[in-house]
Amino acid sequence: MADAATYTAPVDDYAFLYGEAFGADLVARATDGAMTAEDAIDVLTAAGEFASEVLAPLDEPGDRVGATLVDGQARLPEGFADAYQALVEAGWITAEAPESAGGDGLPTLIQNGLGEIWNGSNMAFALNWMLTAGAIHALDAVASPDLRETYLAPMVEGRWTGTMNLTEPQAGTDLGAIRTMATPNDDGTWSISGQKIFITWGDHDVADNIVHLVLARTPGAPEGAKGISLFVVPKFLVNEDGSLGERNGVQTVSLEHKIGIHGSPTCVLAYEGATGYLAGELGGGLAGMFVMMNSARAGMGLQATGVSDRAYQRAIAYAQTRLQGPVMDRPAGTTIAEHPDVRRLLLSMSSEIFAMRAMGVLLGDLFDRAESDGTLAMAEFFVPIFKGWTTEESLRITSDAIQVHGGMGFIEETGVAQHYRDARIMPIYEGTTAIQSNDLIGRKLIRNGGETASALFAQIEATVAELTAADSPVAARTADRLERAVGAARRATDAMLGFASSPRDAYSVSVPYLMLLGTLAGGWMHALAVVAVLGHDAPAPADAQRLTEADFYGAHHLPRVHGLAETVVAGEIG
Amino acid sequence: MADAATYTAPVDDYAFLYGEAFGADLVARATDGAMTAEDAIDVLTAAGEFASEVLAPLDEPGDRVGATLVDGQARLPEGFADAYQALVEAGWITAEAPESAGGDGLPTLIQNGLGEIWNGSNMAFALNWMLTAGAIHALDAVASPDLRETYLAPMVEGRWTGTMNLTEPQAGTDLGAIRTMATPNDDGTWSISGQKIFITWGDHDVADNIVHLVLARTPGAPEGAKGISLFVVPKFLVNEDGSLGERNGVQTVSLEHKIGIHGSPTCVLAYEGATGYLAGELGGGLAGMFVMMNSARAGMGLQATGVSDRAYQRAIAYAQTRLQGPVMDRPAGTTIAEHPDVRRLLLSMSSEIFAMRAMGVLLGDLFDRAESDGTLAMAEFFVPIFKGWTTEESLRITSDAIQVHGGMGFIEETGVAQHYRDARIMPIYEGTTAIQSNDLIGRKLIRNGGETASALFAQIEATVAELTAADSPVAARTADRLERAVGAARRATDAMLGFASSPRDAYSVSVPYLMLLGTLAGGWMHALAVVAVLGHDAPAPADAQRLTEADFYGAHHLPRVHGLAETVVAGEIG
C-alpha cells in the first residue's frame, strides 16, 4: 500500500480511455496518424513519474508553509523554484504550447490527461503554468510579431511565466466595471494604473520575469465591456536584446490569506504608471481574454478531476490499512475498506472520478476534431458542463475522502483536509458555476434552439441501443437507467426552451440543469466503458471493477437526474 | 443591514414554531401548563441577546487565535474565560440541567432552541457546555450520592466543566477496542492509565476544575464492550470539604491542529496512575455513556442548524449589500441577492435551515411527551435522522454561503470560510453518518419491522390530506410533492425490510435511506408551516416568505428522495 502522501498517476485508466472506451483509433484520429494510443500512454507515464517524484512531495509543504511576501517580493517554499526549473528542462511547458506559438502542440486529449496529473500531484504549483498556458494562448491569438518575439517566446520556452489580470474589487463577475486605466505614452507604449486583485501567481521567485496580461480601460473608451483593452505589462522591462531591464511600475501589495491553495501566491497588484503594450485591437480586451476561455475552463475540470483523485488515493490508502471493528460477512482482519458504508463512499468517489476523467478525454477529442469533423459546437456545449459539474462534485468527493478517515480526517497533519480546502475555490474561479450555467443555457442551448443538446441525447441513446443489444445484466441495468435519465434530460430541456419568454425562470434553474446534464454525461461515460469491457475477448484485470463502478454510478449518481428534472421544470419559485 | 460578523438569534422562527406550526398549545403541553409559547420566546430572546453580545464576538478570534498549549496547560483566547463566567452567572448552565441533578430542567423543546443559538453564535465555545451537559446527564443517571455531591453539583452550578473520554488511537467507532486500564486501589478508588485522543475541551483555563468521564477496562474484565467501565477522573483532586487538592495524574500531551473549531481545545490526554472513581456498575461503561447518546446526538443536529444559519446570515448580509452587474428584470442598483442564481442559493439555504429548526422543535416535543404520550419510539427514530441529515446538509449550506460571496468567500478574513471549516467535523463526531444510519435501520427500523416508520408516514399523509383540503395552489403543489415523496419512502422502506436476510444490502444503502427520510421529514416540516400560514385570519409579515420557502423546498430539495429511493432499492452493488 502506498504512503498516503504519495501520488500515482492514473495511467491505466487513460490507457483504457485512449485505447478502448472511445475506440482504438482515438489518438490516431486526433493526430492524423502521427501518434498512437501507446504513444499517448508513454507521454502520460513520463508525466506521472515526474509528478510523483518532483511535484507531489511539494504539495504538503506548499500548503503548510505557503507563499509569503518578503520586502514586496513573493517567495515560494523551498524546492518550488527547483521543481519549476526541472519542469522546464523536461520540456513540459513547450510540449503543451501550440505549434503556432513555437510549442510542440500536443493534441488536446493528451494535454487533458496531463492536466489531471499536474493538478492531482500539486494543484497550487500547477496553477502557475495553467495561467501561463492561458497567457500563451491569448498572446498567440492577438499579439503583434514584436510582442510574440519579446514575450510569447520566453513563455513558451518556460523562462518566464504569465498571469491574467481581470478582477478588481468592484469588478468580479462583471468585468465591464473595470476601472484600471491605460493612457497612451508618446512612444506608442501605454501607462497603466489601477489595482487588480485575486491575481494567481501574480508574483513569485521561481522564474526570471512575469508577463502580466492586464485588462484596462482607455481614455474616451465606451462604457462597459466594449471599452476594455488587453495590455502586456512585464514585471521587469525588457531591453532591445531581450535581457531584463529595470523593474516596471507594478507592486505586490499583499498576498491573500485563503482557505486553500496556500502554495499559489494570490496577489493584490498595484499598477502605478507601469509601462504596457497593447495586445490586439483597442476595445478588444474581453475578446482577447475569451480566446483562452475554453481551455481555461476545461482546465478547471481537469483540476477538479486531479484533486478529487488525489483525495481518493489518500482515502483508499487509509481504508485499506485501517482496522476498526469486525466487518460484516468478512473474515477477521478485514480493513474498513470493506465496511459497507466505507465501500459505498469509495465507490461513490471512484465512479465519479472515472466519469470526470472520461469526460476530459471526450472533450479533448471534440476540440481536436473541431475543424475536421465539425465538433466545435459539441465541444463548446461541454465546456461549461465539464467545468461546472466536476468542480461542484469535487467538493463532495474531497469531503467524502475526509469522511473515510473519520476523526483523523479533521486533523490537518493527516493531509486529506488540504484537498477539501484546495477544492473550494474551483467552483468559483474561471467563472462561478452560475456563470457556467448561464453560458450553457444562453449561448449553447437557447441560442440554437436546443440543437446541440438534441444531438447529444441522440448519441447517448445510440449507446443505450448498443447496451440493450448486449446480453449482460449490468448492460441491461445501465441501459434502463441511462434511457430514463435521457428522458429526464429531454423533459428538462423542453422546459428550459419553453422559458424563452420568462428568462428569470430559466436562469433560476440553470445550475440544476447544468448538474443534470453533467450527471447524465457521467452516466454515458460509464455506459461507453461497459460497452468496451463487454467487447473484451479475454477479461482484463480491471474489468470487474469497471463494471461495478458503472453499476454503482447508475444506482447512486445517475438517479439524481430525476429530482433535478423536477427542479428545472418548476422554474423560478415565488 | 447587519454587519456580516454579527449574529441574530432566529427568535421569530421559533415564535412561529412554538406558537403556530405545531399547534398553539405546544409549550403548555410539554410543560404541563407551566409555561406558554410566550414564556419560551422570552427565554430564547434573552439567550439571543446574550449570544449576540457575548458569544458571537469571540467566534472569529477563537478561530484565528485558537486554543494553545502553554507549559502543559491549554489556554483559550482572551475573553473566553470572562464569557464563560458570564454564562454561568446568567444561569444558563443551571437552566438546562435536569431537575433531578439540581438544575432548572427547561423542557427539551426549549433547550433545542437554545442549542441552536449557542452553536450559531459560537460553535467552538458551545462545545464546552454541550460536553458538560452530557457529563451531567451521564452522572445523573449512574453516579452514587457521593459522586453526585462532589462532582455533579459543581457542574450543574457551572463551576466545573465535564468531558467525555472515549476515543483511543485504535478505538474510534469500535469502542470495544479500548485499552485504557483501571486497576483497583486499596481505598476503593481506581488507578487509571492510558491515552485518550480527540477529547473536546479536555483542558482549558475557563473554569477551576474538569470532571473527566473516562471509559476504561478493568483487570480480568471480558473482551469487548462488556469489559468497559465508566470512571470519574477529576483534573484536580477534590478535598473532603469540596475544595481543590493537588493535580491528578492526567496530562495534556498536545492539542490537535484541526480544519476548524480552533477555539475548542481538542486534547490528547495521558492518564498515568490517575485517581478515578467508578460511576455505575462494573462493566456498565458503555451503557452509562449511551444514557446521554440521544441528547448528544440531537445536540449535533442543533449545532448543524446553528452553524448553517450563521453562515446563511453572512451570505444574505453580503448579497443584500453587494452590487455586481445588472440584475435581470430588476431596476438598476439591485443587489446580487436578486440575481436568479444567488436567490436560488439563498432560498436553498434558508428553506433547509427552517426544516432543520422545525425538526429540532419536533424532536424536543417528542422527548418531552415520551412518558405521557408514548412518543419515545418516534423520538428515538428521529435522533439518527436529525443528527445525520442536518450535519450532512450543513456541509452544503456552509459551502453555498461561500459561493454567494464569490472569490471573497475563499479569503479567510471574509469570515464565512470559518463555518465551512467548522462544519466539517459534525458528520464525524458523536457517531459518523454511517453510525447514525446503522442505528436507524438496525435498532429503529428493522428491529420493529418498520412499525415506527409506518406511523411516521401515516402522520405525514395526514398532513397531505390537510393540504389537499386547503384551497391554495402552493398547498396543492406541496401536497402532491409530499405524497409522492412518501411513496418513495415507502418503497425504500419495503426494500430495506426485505434486505433482512442480506444485511450487507441494507447497510450499503443505509446512509442514502437516512438522507431520504431526513429530506422527506424536512418536506413535512414545510407542509406543517403551509398549513399554519394558510390558517392565518390576517396575513403575517413572514407569510409570503414561508410559502416561498416551502414551495422552494418542495421543488429543489424534496425531489431528491426519488433518486435516493432508486439507490436504496438497488442494495449493495457488485
**Mind listing the pLDDT tens digit for each residue in B199-244?**
999 999 999 999 999 999 999 999 989 999 999 999 999 999 999 9
pLDDT given for residue A328 in this prediction: 95
Give the minimum alpha-carbon distance from B504 to chain A in angstroms, rounded to a whole number. Answer: 6
Asked if the Cβ–Cβ distance from B508 to A395 is below 8 Å, we say: no
Q: What's the grid cell of residue A116?
A: 489531471
Which regions of A159-305 does DSSP assign to beta strands (E)?
160-165, 181-184, 190-200, 209-217, 228-234, 236-238, 244-247, 250-255, 266-279
Which chain B positions have a beta carbon within 8 Å of A510's beta carbon?
340-341
Give the minimum alpha-carbon distance from A424 to chain B in angstroms, rounded to a whole number. Answer: 7
Name the band, by pLDDT with cuts 50, 70 and 90, for residue A1: very low
Spatial distance between the Cα atoms of A119 and B265, rounded to a whole number of angstroms: 34
Q: Which of B258, B342, B503 is closest, CB to CB, to A410?
A: B258
pLDDT given for residue A295 in this prediction: 86
Closest CA in chain A for residue B430: A407
Would you give the end-to-end CA distance of chain B in angstroms?
A: 54
Give the minimum alpha-carbon distance from A341 to chain B in angstroms, rounded to a whole number. Answer: 5
pLDDT given for residue A4 in this prediction: 64
Query: Cell numbers 450559531 label which residue?
Result: B120
Closest CA in chain B for residue A422: B410
Which chain A positions have a beta carbon within 8 Å of B507's beta carbon?
328, 340-341
Asked if the Cβ–Cβ distance from A325 to B173 is below 8 Å, we say: yes
Q: What is the mean pLDDT of residues A497-506?
A: 94
Comparing C-alpha atoms, which of A552, A41, A63, A6 is closest to residue A313? A6
**Are the C-beta atoms of A159 and A97 separated by less than 8 Å?**
no
Q: Output the CA–CA distances (angstroms, integers) from residue A376 to A141, A355, B178, B447, in the order listed.
A: 18, 21, 61, 57
Q: Output the CA–CA distances (angstroms, integers) from residue A74 to A69, A251, A266, B95, in the order listed.
A: 4, 10, 10, 54
Catalytic residue, chosen from A96, A116, A430, A549, is A430
Asked if the Cβ–Cβ distance from B573 to A548 is below 8 Å, we say: yes
Which chain A positions have a beta carbon within 8 Å of B341's beta carbon?
433-434, 437-438, 507-508, 510-511
**Mind listing the pLDDT tens digit for each residue in A234-272?**
999 999 999 999 999 999 999 999 999 999 999 999 999
Asked if the Cβ–Cβ distance from A341 to B437 is below 8 Å, we say: yes
pLDDT given for residue B4 in this prediction: 64
**Mind listing the pLDDT tens digit for each residue in A283-293?**
999 988 887 78
Which chain A positions have a beta carbon within 8 Å of B402's beta carbon?
424, 428
Asked if the Cβ–Cβ distance from B406 to A421 is below 8 Å, we say: no
Q: Which of B173, B324, B511 is closest, CB to CB, to A344?
A: B511
Catalytic residue, chosen from B430, B466, B549, B572, is B430
Asked if the Cβ–Cβ distance from B564 to A559 is below 8 Å, we say: yes
Burial class (CB in 10 A: 0-12, 13-18, 19+), B245: exposed
Mean pLDDT of chain A: 96
Spatial distance between the Cα atoms of A370 and A367, rounded to a whole number of angstroms: 5
Give yes or no: B116 in active site: no
Indicate if the pLDDT at residue A2 is higher than 60: no
Indicate if the pLDDT at residue B2 is higher than 70: no
pLDDT given for residue B289 in this prediction: 82
**Mind listing the pLDDT tens digit for each residue in A315-373?**
999 999 999 999 999 999 999 999 999 999 999 999 999 999 999 999 999 999 999 99
Higher pLDDT, A488 or B169: A488
Asked if the Cβ–Cβ distance from A411 to B258 is below 8 Å, we say: yes
Q: What is the DSSP letter of B207?
A: S
Q: How many beta-carbon contacts under 8 Å exist across A and B?
A: 203
Give the minimum alpha-carbon distance from B89 to chain A in angstroms, rounded to a whole number. Answer: 34
Burial class (CB in 10 A: 0-12, 13-18, 19+), A377: middle
Burial class (CB in 10 A: 0-12, 13-18, 19+), A287: middle
Which chain B positions have a beta carbon within 8 Å of A399's beta carbon?
395, 424
Comparing C-alpha atoms, which of A418, A303, A416, A420 is closest to residue A4? A416
**Mind listing the pLDDT tens digit for each residue in B414-460?**
999 999 999 999 999 999 999 999 999 999 999 999 999 999 999 99
Indicate if the pLDDT at residue B363 is higher than 80: yes
Asked if the Cβ–Cβ distance from B328 to A507 is below 8 Å, we say: yes
This prediction's pTM:
0.97
Q: What is the mean pLDDT of residues B529-550?
A: 96
pLDDT given for residue A11 in this prediction: 98
Q: Which of A325, A343, A510 is closest, CB to CB, to B174?
A: A325
**Mind listing the pLDDT tens digit for each residue in A63-111?**
999 999 999 999 999 999 999 999 999 999 999 999 999 999 999 999 9
Which chain B positions have a beta carbon within 8 Å of A264's beta carbon?
none
**Are the C-beta atoms of B433 and B514 separated by less than 8 Å?**
yes
**Mind listing the pLDDT tens digit for each residue in A434-466?**
999 999 999 999 999 999 999 999 999 999 999
Give the minimum alpha-carbon distance from A49 to chain B in angstroms, rounded to a whole number. Answer: 31
Q: What is the mean pLDDT of residues A8-28?
A: 97
pLDDT given for residue B290 in this prediction: 81
Spatial distance between the Cα atoms of B355 and B521, rounded to a whole number of angstroms: 8
